[in-house]
Chain A
Amino acid sequence: MTATIEPEVGKARLRKEDARLITGRTRWTDNLTVPGLLHLAFLRSPVAHAKITSIDVEDARRKPGVIAIFTGRDLAEAQGSLPCAWPITPDQKAPAAPSLAVDQVNFAGEAVAVVVARGNAEAHDALEAIEVEYEDLPVVLDMTAAVADGADLVHADLGTNKSAHWVFDSAEAGTGSDVEQAIAEAEVLIERTYRQQRLIPAFMEPRSVLVDPTGEQTTVWSATQIPHILRLMLALTTGIPEHKLRVIAPDVGGGFGGKLQVTPEEVVSLVVATRLGKPVKWTESRSESLLSAHHGRDQIQKLTLAARRDGTVTGLKVDLLADMGAYLRLVTPGVPILGAFMFNAIYKFPAYRFACTNVFTNKTPTDAYRGAGRPEATYAIERLMDELAAELGRDPIELREQNWIKHDEFPFTTVCGLEYDTGNYEAATAKAKEMFGYDALRAEQRERRERGDVVQLGIGTSTFTEMCGLAPSRVLGSLSYGAGGWEHAAVRMLPSGKVEVVTGSSAHGQGHETAWSQIVADQLGVPFEDVEVLHGDTQTSPRGLDTYGSRSLTVGAMAVLKAGEKVIRKARRIAAHTMECAESDLEFSGGRFTVKGTDRSTGLTDVALAVFAAHDLPDGVEPSLDSEATFDPENFSFPHGTHLCAVDVDTETGFVKIRKYVCVDDVGVVVNPIIVEGQVHGGLAQGLAQALYEEAVHDESGTLTTGTLADYLVPSAVDLPHFDTDRTETPSTTNQLGVKGVGEAGTIASTPAVVNAVVDAVRHFGVNDIQMPCTPMRVWTAINGGPTDAGGLGGEAGGGLGSIDTSGGAA
C-alpha cells in the first residue's frame, strides 16, 4: 500500500451487503427457527374504545396444536408497562401501557390475547374460537374535539386528553424577540392551518420476533432498528436482568422509524417464552402491521407568519395539535418536539414561538417515521413561504433568498439558538434552477395559463434544512430525553492483518458495512475487502444506540474513526520500539509507519502480527491493538438542499402528474456517492407519497380503513417519476469526517415541493391550499369549490374505496 492509492472515501463502491440479498441467502427473523419452536398469534380488538367485560378462551384452548393461551390479565404483572423514554414535560400525562390490554382497549388493533401453538396456522385457527365481550365507550378521534372542554376521554383516569403542552418562545429563551409584537406590527400576515395527515411507515419486511429462553442468556431475535435500546427496555419492562438478555437484529428489511420501537409483541413473546421455557416466534401479517405498528405524522398546524411589504419575514408563530394515538410509545411525545427548532428553517426570523399540545385519541399510537417532526416543520414553513410570495406577487425563490442565511453568514445562530455550522443555499439553488430549466418552465406556465390549457403547469420549491445526527447527549438531556446520543465502536486488528469493525449503528438497508469499510480502509491503509463490519447483536456489539435520525455516519462512523485512531496510537509505540526510534520520528500513511527522512518502514499489519506473537513488546504494553471508542457529537449536523418540482394538473379530472423533479442536496462530505443517491431517491419516494398518495384513514368508529396495501397507497414504480439529483458539498465542521447525514433529507424536503407545485398550478382558480394527499378528488374539488372545500372533504382513503374522515381538518 502506498499513500498515493486512490482514497476509498468518495468512491462509488458497490455494496458488500448485496451478495446475500440478491441470491436469497438472507436471515430475516421469520426465516429463523430453533428446535421445539412454538408459534404465537395475537387476537386484536376490533373496536377502538371499550371495556373488556369477559374473555372466554376455553374452546380455543381445546383446538388442535394449542399449547397455551394468555390474556392481559394472565400476564398483567409480568408484562409491565411499555416504556416511553421521552417525557417532554415534568407534568406529562401518560397512561399505563400494557402489552396485552387488561381491562380496556383504547384503539382498534390493540392486542387482547395471545395463542401459543405448535404451528403458525394452528395458532391463527384458535384465534377464531376466543370469545371477547366488549362494552363500548365513546370513541375519541378528532383532535380538536378531544381538547375541547367536556370532551369524552380516552383515558378517564388521566382526566384529560391533553398529554402535555410544550412551548419554545424566542423572547423567553433570549434567542430572539417577541412574536406577538412582530405580529402586531406586521405589514403582511399569512395565517394558515395545515393538516399533516397520518402516515404508516410500511417497511417491506413485516415485524417478527423469535425468543429462545433455553440458554443461560435468553436470546431475542427481532426485526428492529434498535437492538441495544430494546435489550435495556425489555429488561426494565419485564424485570428480567439485562445481562440475562441477548438481542439480535439479523437482516432487517427496512424501518424508516417504524422499527424504532419496543413493541407489545416483543414484550409478550419474551414473557411467554420465559413462562413456558420454550422458544416462540411471532411474525405479523401486513394487515397487523398497518393496523398496530406505530403510525407517523398526524398534526394540525396553526401558523402565523409576519412579514413586511418588502418581503422580509419578521415573525413566526406555530401552534400544533399532535396526535399521540392511544398510548405514548418509545419516543411518541418527542416527535413533534424534534420539529420545534426547524420551523424557522433557513430563514432569519427575528421572533419565533412554538407551542405544541400532545393529544390522546382512540387510534394506533404514533411515533417516529422518517424525518420525525422535521418533515412537518419543513412542510409548514415551505408552504408559508410560497403563500407569502403569492401574497406579495413575488417569485418564491427570490423571496426565499431575501430571507435565508447567506453563505458568508455561517456559522449562524438561529432564533431557536441552534448553531448552523455550514451551508451554501445560493449554490444549491443556482444549480437546481439550472438543472430544472426554471425560467423556461415559468415562461411555459404563463403561456399555458393565458391559453387556458386544460392541463395546467405548476412549479413548487422547497429550500430545506434539517437538524440530524441525533444527537449531542447534553442537548437530549435538556429536552428530557431518557438517554444520550453517543455511539460506540471497536476496531480489532486480527493477526493476519484483517480488520473487524464493531459498530453500535444497527443497519437495516443503509449500507453501513460498505461505508464503514471505506472509512476504515482509508484510515488504516488496508484493502476495502479486508474489513469486516459487525453489528446488530448485543453479544458481538455490546454497546450502541442504534440507527435513526440520520445519525449513523455523523455519530456512528465517527466512533469508528476514533477507535481507529487509538489503534494507530497503540501501534505507533510498538512500531517505534521495533524500529528503535522515537514515536515522534514516525509518520503514518497508507498503512505504514515510516521513519521520517528514511525508507525504513513497517506496516500496521506487520505490527498486528508482532503484537499477536508478543515476543518483543515495549515494557508495560499490552499485547493487543484492539481499541474502542464512544463518540458524543457536540452539535447536530444541518444538511440542506433545493428541491424543485413541476407538475401537470388536469383541471378536468384533478389528476396530478409529476413532470420533472430536480433536487440538489448538500449533505457535506460524501463517503459513497451511490449510497447517498440511493438514500435521496428513497427519501423522495416517501415524501412524494405523503404529498400525493398515502394516508391512514379511520372511519367514524375508529376502524382503520387503510389496513391493506390495496388501500394504503405505497407508491409503485408507475406512481413515481424519474428524479434528477445532484449535490453541492459544504463540509460540516461539527465532525472530523465533514459529513452531515442523508437518510431523511429527501423525505423532509420533497413533500412541500410537490404540494407547492400542485397549488401553484391551480392558484388562479382561487385555491391556496389542498389537503394532503392531493388526490384527484381533492384537487378537482379545490378547483371547482375554492379553498374552503379543498381540505374539508378529504375522506377518501388513498384507494378511493370510500371511508369517512372524522379526524378533523384544516378547513
Chain B
Amino acid sequence: MRITVTVDGTTYTDEVEPRKLLVHYLRETIGKTGTVVGCDTSNCGSCTVHLNGQSVKSCSVLAVQVDGAEVTTIEGLARDGELHPVQQAFHDNHALQCGFCTPGMIMQSIDLLADHPDPDEDTVRHGLEGNLCRCTGYQNIVRAVQDAAQKLKPGSQQPVGGQ
C-alpha cells in the first residue's frame, strides 16, 4: 500500500506492506533509527513517538494507519540546534544512563506535560508507567520531568509538544 506521511517535518511517500509496523517503517524505510524497539508486547515504551501530537507506541501502530498523518520522533524535537526543554532537562538531571529507553521516555514526558503542566511526583510516575528504564531507577527521570515543567511554564520560551 502507498502511504504519505510527514515525519519530523519532511513528507515521505512509500509503498509499505500492510503488516509493517510504524516503528519498522521509521527505522527501516526512512532511517529514523533514533526510535528503537525494546519489546514485542507494547510494555516497554522505547518506541514512543508522537502521532498528530499525541504519544503512541509505534510498535502498536501499523504504517498504513499513519497515511496522511504527522509523526514526530526524538530526531525532530530539537529546533535550529536548540534542544527541546525536556531533552535539556534529561541531560541536566542525569536522567539517562545507557540511553536506550530515553527517546521513548522523552516523547512520553512531553505528552505527559501537555496534560499536566505542573505534575507532582506521583503524577509523573503514573504518566511514565508505560515506559520502562532498567538503568536509572526513575528518580532522576522524575526530577527531569518536573524540572522541564518549570522551564515550560507560561512566559518561558518554548511551547510544550513536539510539533
User: Which residues in A have some Cβ–Cβ distance to B below 8 Å?
Assistant: 14-15, 17-26, 28, 30-31, 121, 202-206, 251-254, 256, 285-287, 508-511, 674-675, 677-679, 681-686, 708-710, 714, 716-718, 720, 722-723
Q: How far is the CB of A681 from chain B (nearest CB, A)?
A: 4
Q: Which of A30, A511, A717, A720 contacts B97 (CB 8 A)?
A: A511
Q: What residues of A have a CB within 8 angstroms of the CB of B37 in the complex?
A: 30, 206
Most chain A CB within 10 A, of B75, B124, B134, is at B134
Residue pair A24, B33 in contact (C-beta under 8 Å): yes
B87 within 8 A of A: yes
Contact pick for B43, options A14, A684, A709, CB 8 Å: A709
> For the complex, is B7 an interface residue (Cβ under 8 Å from A)?
no
B58 to chain A: which residues have CB within 8 Å?
none
- Inter-subunit contact B97/A509 (CB<8 Å): yes
Contact of B103 among A24, A254, A681, A718 (CB under 8 A): A24
CA A15 to CA B121, docked complex, whole Å: 24
Is the C-beta of B128 less than 8 angstroms from some C-beta in chain A?
A: yes
4 closest A-B pairs by CB = A24-B34, A509-B98, A21-B99, A253-B100
How far does the alpha carbon of A675 sit from the alpha carbon of B96 in the complex, in Å? 10
Interface residues of B in 76-104 (CB under 8 A from A): 77-78, 83, 87, 90-92, 94, 96-103
CB pair A22–B87 under 8 Å, yes or no, is yes
User: Contact between B129 and A23 (Cβ–Cβ < 8 Å)?
Assistant: no
Most chain B CB within 10 A, of A508, A674, A679, A681, is at: A681
Specify which of B19, B43, B73, B101 is in contact with A24 (CB 8 Å cutoff): B73
Apart from A254-B134, A722-B121, what are 12 other A-B pairs with CB-CB below 8 Å?
Answer: A24-B34, A25-B75, A28-B36, A205-B38, A252-B98, A256-B134, A511-B97, A681-B140, A682-B134, A685-B136, A708-B43, A717-B129
Chain B residues with Cβ below 8 Å from A708 are 39-41, 43
Chain A residue with the shortest CB-CB distance to B143: A722
Chief secondary structure at chain B's binding surface: loop
A681 touches B136 (CB 8 A): yes
Q: Is the CB of A24 within 8 A of B94?
A: no
Q: Which residues of B contact A253 (CB under 8 A)?
A: 36, 98-100
Interface: B138 (CB within 8 A):
yes
Contact residues in B for A686 (Cβ distance below 8 Å): 134
Does B98 contact A254, Cβ atoms closer than 8 Å?
A: yes
State the CA gap A677–B140 with chains docked (Å).
10
Does B113 reach chain A (CB closer than 8 Å)? no
Q: Which residues of B contact A682 (CB under 8 A)?
A: 97, 134-137
Q: List 14 A-B contacts (CB under 8 A).
A: A14-B91, A15-B94, A23-B75, A23-B83, A23-B87, A31-B27, A287-B41, A677-B140, A681-B137, A708-B40, A709-B132, A716-B130, A716-B138, A720-B138
B142 at the binding interface (Cβ < 8 Å): yes
Give Cα A6–Cα B136 distance, bound, in whole angstroms: 28
A751 to chain B, nearest CB (A): 14
Which residues does chain B contribute within 8 Å of A714, judged by CB atoms?
A: 132, 134
Whether the pair A723, B139 counts as a contact (CB closer than 8 A) is yes
Which of B44, B90, B96, B138 contacts A685 (CB under 8 A)? B138
> CB-CB < 8 A to A252: which residues of B?
98
Whether a CB of chain A sits under 8 angstroms from the CB of B106 is yes
8 Å CB contact of B141 from A17, A717, A723: A717
**Distance to closest chain A CB from B98 (angstroms):** 3
Report which of B77, B78, B96, B103 forms a contact with A18, defined as CB distance below 8 A: B96
Chain A residues with Cβ under 8 A from B17's Cβ? 121
Q: Is B149 an interface residue (CB 8 A)?
A: no
Q: Is the CB of A26 within 8 A of B99?
A: yes
Interface centre among A15, A24, A254, A675 (most CB of B within 10 A): A24
Instruction: Assess whether B64 is interfacial by the CB under 8 Å rule.
Output: no
Q: CB-CB < 8 A to A14: which residues of B?
A: 91-92, 94
Minimum CB–CB distance from A526 to chain B (whole Å) comes to 23
Asked whether any CB of chain A lies closer than 8 Å to the CB of B35, the reply is yes
**Given known A253-B99, A718-B125, contact A709–B73 (CB-CB < 8 A):** no
Residue among A256, A287, A722 making CB contact with B139, cutoff 8 Å: A722
Given A22-B91, A710-B41, A254 contacting B97 (CB threshold 8 A): yes
Residue of B nearest to A12 (CB): B94
Contact A22 B97 (CB under 8 A): no
A716/B129 contact (C-beta < 8 A), A26-B33, A204-B98, A708-B40 known: yes
The answer, yes or no, to whether B133 is at the interface (CB within 8 Å) is: yes
Chain A residues closer than 8 Å to B124, beta-carbon distance: 717
Q: Are B134 and A709 closer than 8 Å at their CB atoms?
A: no
Query: Closest CB of chain B to A134's CB: distance in Å?
Result: 25
When the two chains form their complex, are residues A204 and B133 in contact, meaning their CB atoms are under 8 A apart?
A: yes
Q: In the complex, are the beta carbons of A508 and B138 less than 8 A apart?
A: no
Q: How far is the CA of A623 from the CA of B61 in the complex (A)?
A: 60
Contact partners of B83 in chain A: CB under 8 A:
22-23
Could you say which residues of chain A place their CB within 8 Å of the CB of B130?
Answer: 716
Docked-complex contact A720 and B137, CB < 8 angstroms = yes
A718 adjacent to B91 (CB under 8 Å): no
A253 CA to B36 CA in the complex, in Å?
11
Residue of A nearest to B78 (CB): A23
In whole angstroms, how far apart are the Cα atoms of A608 and B106 in the complex? Answer: 42
Give complex CA distance A25, B34 in Å. 6
Structural contact, A723 and B137, CB atoms closer than 8 A: yes
A-side contacts of B97, CB under 8 Å: 254, 509-511, 678-679, 682
CA distance A714 to B131 in the complex (A): 11
A718 in contact with B134 (CB, 8 Å): no
Q: CB within 8 A of A23: which of B74, B132, B139? A: B74
The docked-state distance in angstroms from the alpha carbon of A204 to that of B74 is: 17
When the two chains form the complex, which single residue of B32, B44, B138 contacts A709, counting CB atoms closer than 8 Å?
B44
Using CB atoms, name the residue of chain A closest to B33: A31
Chain B residues near A720: list those with CB within 8 A.
137-139
The CA of A19 and the CA of B46, in the complex, are separated in Å by 18
* Known interface pairs A23-B83, A203-B134, A509-B135; A251-B38 also in contact (CB < 8 Å): no
Task: Please indicate the chain A residues that have their CB under 8 angstroms from the CB of B103 in the complex.
Answer: 24
Is the Cβ of A286 less than 8 Å from the Cβ of B98? no
In residues 31-77 of chain B, which contact A (Cβ within 8 Å)?
Answer: 32-41, 43-44, 46, 73-75, 77
| A509 to chain B: closest residue by CB | B98
Cross-chain contact A254 with B100 (CB below 8 angstroms): yes
Residue of B nearest to A708 (CB): B41
User: How far is A15 from B92 in the complex, measured between Cα atoms in Å?
Assistant: 9
Instruction: Decide: A28 near B33, CB < 8 A? Known: A22-B83, A204-B101, A717-B141.
Output: yes
Task: State the CA gap A723–B140 with chains docked (Å).
Answer: 10
Partner of B74, one of A24, A28, A251, A723: A24
Among A28, A681, A685, contact of B100 (Cβ-Cβ < 8 Å): A28
Question: From residue B23, how far is it (CB to closest CB) to chain A in Å?
Answer: 11
Judging by beta carbons under 8 Å apart, are B99 and A17 in contact?
Answer: yes
Q: Given the complex of chains A and B, what is the CA–CA distance between A779 and B13 in angstroms?
A: 56
Return the chain B residue nearest A673 by Cβ. Answer: B94
Whether B106 and A204, one on each chain, are in contact in the complex, defined by CB atoms closer than 8 angstroms, is no
Q: Is the CB of B94 within 8 A of A717?
A: no
> Smallest distance from the beta carbon of B38 to chain A beta carbons, Å?
5
Closest A residue to B98 using CB positions? A509
Residue of A nearest to B135 (CB): A682
Q: Quick one: which of A22, A202, A287 contacts B134, CB cutoff 8 A?
A: A202
CA distance A566 to B130 in the complex (A): 50
Min CB distance, A331 to chain B, in Å? 21
A684–B136 Cα distance when bound, in Å, is 9
Bound: A251/B100 CA distance, A: 9
A510 to chain B: which residues have CB within 8 Å? 97
B132–A22 CB distance below 8 A: no
Contact B94 A286 (CB under 8 A): no
- Chain B residues with CB below 8 A from A511, complex form: 97
A229 to B49, CA, bound (A): 37
In Å, the complex CA distance between A288 and B16 comes to 26
CA distance A252 to B96 in the complex (A): 13
Contacts of B128 in A (CB 8 A): 716-717
